Amino acid sequence: MSSKIRYKSPRALKPGDITLRSISFVYIGFLIILPIIAVISGMFKGGLANLWKQITLPQALFSLKLTFICALAIVVINVITGTATAWVLVRYKFPLKNLINALVDIPFAIPTVVTGIMLVLLYGPRSSIGTFLNKQGIEVIYAKPGIILALAFVTFPFVVRAVQPVLMEMDKDMEEAARTLGASRFTIFRRVVLPTLLPAILTGTALSFSRALGEFGSVVIVAGNIPFKSQVSSVYIYGEIESANTQGALGTAMVLLVSSLLILIVLNVIQRWSNKYEAHS
């Protein structure tokens, strides 16, 4: 071997590295950073005082309250159903299991407006179930239950898919050890399994909360646009945009934007914290 292979330190830049990096910077800068800055500057342009006024308008406030309450309800629902579904899919064998496992992803594949249409078909005023429920005084469409139903559908996979891999990787040893120490099945689940799953559950929850806050397509069809009743923030913002009331839209949009960013940060923190116990294992 006569040729010398030049050793390059891993940090050395290779030809084209800068080009690729610049391309990425421009792409991200133009498509993501620029719009966000534009919105933030728009916020300051109108004046913070005005912004606050817009946010605290009764209709805006109501929509925010409704949105957050529904998102929280979804969180509670998903924690229970998502964990249970993941558990069942990983630990048990039963007929049609593979089919259900595959279908868990359907909410990711179906357009949100189609979800809205499906729900209206089932529970709308022209359906048998809808008319029956209406007679009992229960409104689904154009009311809170409809919103919750739509949100539950579109956020269903988040917790399930977050918990499944962790459950699959879990060492069954710990559960057996707990058995030898006399723990009942429920105690084992509560004190051994659940704490191990907690980071994954939280991740899935944060994702579904974030999604529920911003969901539009399904909710606008199912709940319509009735102020002070079934108007969530995304629909309110839409209304403001359509009425060319930029400041009005900005205010509530900022609240949603900031919430989303906070959730992203929380997610990051959860990731880092969950790696704590695996440090030297």
Partner 1 sequence: MSGIRVENLRKTFDNFTAVDDVSFGIEEGELAALLGPSGSGKSTILRIIAGLERPDHGRIYLTSREVTHHSVQERNIGFVFQHYALFKHMTVEKNIAFGLEVQKKSKKEIKAKVDELIDLVKLEGYNNQYPHQLSGGQRQRVALARALAPEPRVLLLDEPFGSLDAKVRKNLAQWIRDLHKRIHVTGVFVTHDQNEAMEISDKIILINRGRVEQIGTPREVYETPATKFVASFVGNVNVVESVISDGSIFINGVSPDITLQMRECDLAPGEVVLLVRPEEISLARAATENNLPGIIRAVHYRGSFYEVEIDVGNNLVKAVIDKEEYKAEEWRAKDPVFVLFGKYKVFDASEGYQQVHSMLKQYGYIE
Partner 2 sequence: MKPTPDPVDIEVITLWDKRVRREKLGKWIIIGLVFLWFAFLVLFPLYGIFREAGEEGLKTIFSSLKTADSIHAFYLTFITTLVAVILNTVFGVIMAIVFARQKFKGKLLLESIVDMPFAISPIVAGFMFVVLFGPEGWIGSWFESMNIKILYAIPGMMIATVFITIPFVAREILPILREFGREEEEAAATLGASRWQAFWRVTLPSIKWGLAYGVTLTIARSIGEFGAVLVVSGSIINMTQTATLRIHDQFMNFNYPGAFSAALVLAVFSFVILLFIQYAYKKKGGPLL
**Interacting positions 50-109 with partner 1 (CB under 8 A):** none
Q: Using CA atoms, how far apart are residues 189 and 167, in angstroms rounded to an integer?
A: 12
Token digits of residue 268:
């990051």
**Choices 13-21, 56-64, 132-140, 271-279 (CB under 8 A): range interacting with partner 2:** 13-21
> If binding is defined by CB under 8 A, does position 165 make contact with partner 2?
yes
Backbone angles phi, psi at 120, to 5 degrees: -65, -40
Site track for partner 2 across 17-46, x = CB under 8 A:
x--xx-xxx-xx--xxxxxx-xx--x----
Q: Using CA atoms, how far apart are residues 183 and 34, in angstroms rounded to an integer?
A: 56
Q: If you count them, how many residues does the chain have? A: 281
Name residues contacting partner 1, limited to 220-279 (CB under 8 A): 277-279
> If binding is defined by CB under 8 A, does position 13 make contact with partner 1?
no
> If binding is defined by CB under 8 A, does position 168 make contact with partner 1?
no
241 closest CA partner among 58, 54, 69: 54
Name residues contacting partner 2, limited to 97-116 (CB under 8 A): 100-116
- Cα–chain-centroid distance for residue 87? 20
Nearest-approach distance from CB 96 to partner 2, in angstroms: 8
**Choices 86-94, 149-157, 181-189, 233-241 (CB under 8 A): range interacting with partner 1:** 181-189
> If binding is defined by CB under 8 A, does position 204 make contact with partner 2?
no
Q: Using CA atoms, how far apart are residues 10 and 276, in angstroms rounded to an integer?
A: 28
> If binding is defined by CB under 8 A, does position 173 make contact with partner 1?
yes
The dihedral through the CA atoms of 246, 249, 253, 255 has a sign that is: positive
Nearest-approach distance from CB 86 to partner 1, in angstroms: 18
> If binding is defined by CB under 8 A, does position 217 make contact with partner 2?
yes
Q: Using CA atoms, how far apart are residues 173 and 65, in angstroms rounded to an integer?
A: 45
> If binding is defined by CB under 8 A, does position 280 make contact with partner 1?
yes
> If binding is defined by CB under 8 A, does position 14 make contact with partner 2?
yes
Closer residue to partner 2 (CB): 50 or 81: 81
> If binding is defined by CB under 8 A, does position 171 make contact with partner 2?
no
> If binding is defined by CB under 8 A, does position 138 make contact with partner 2?
no
> If binding is defined by CB under 8 A, does position 281 make contact with partner 1?
yes
Start-to-end CA distance of the chain, whole Å, equals 43
Q: Which residues contact 205 (CB under 8 A, 6 or more apart)?
A: 75, 78, 79, 158, 159
Nearest-approach distance from CB 184 to partner 1, in angstroms: 7
Q: Using CA atoms, how far apart are residues 79 and 152, in angstroms rounded to an integer?
A: 11
Nearest-approach distance from CB 145 to partner 2, in angstroms: 13
DSSP character for 143? S
Residue ranges of alpha helices (H) inside 189-276 are: 194-214, 217-223, 233-242, 246-274
Closer residue to partner 1 (CB): 4 or 172: 172
Q: Which residues contact 2 (CB under 8 A, 6 or more apart)?
A: none
Residue numbers at the binding site for partner 1 (CB under 8 A): 171, 173-174, 176-184, 187, 191-192, 195-196, 277-281
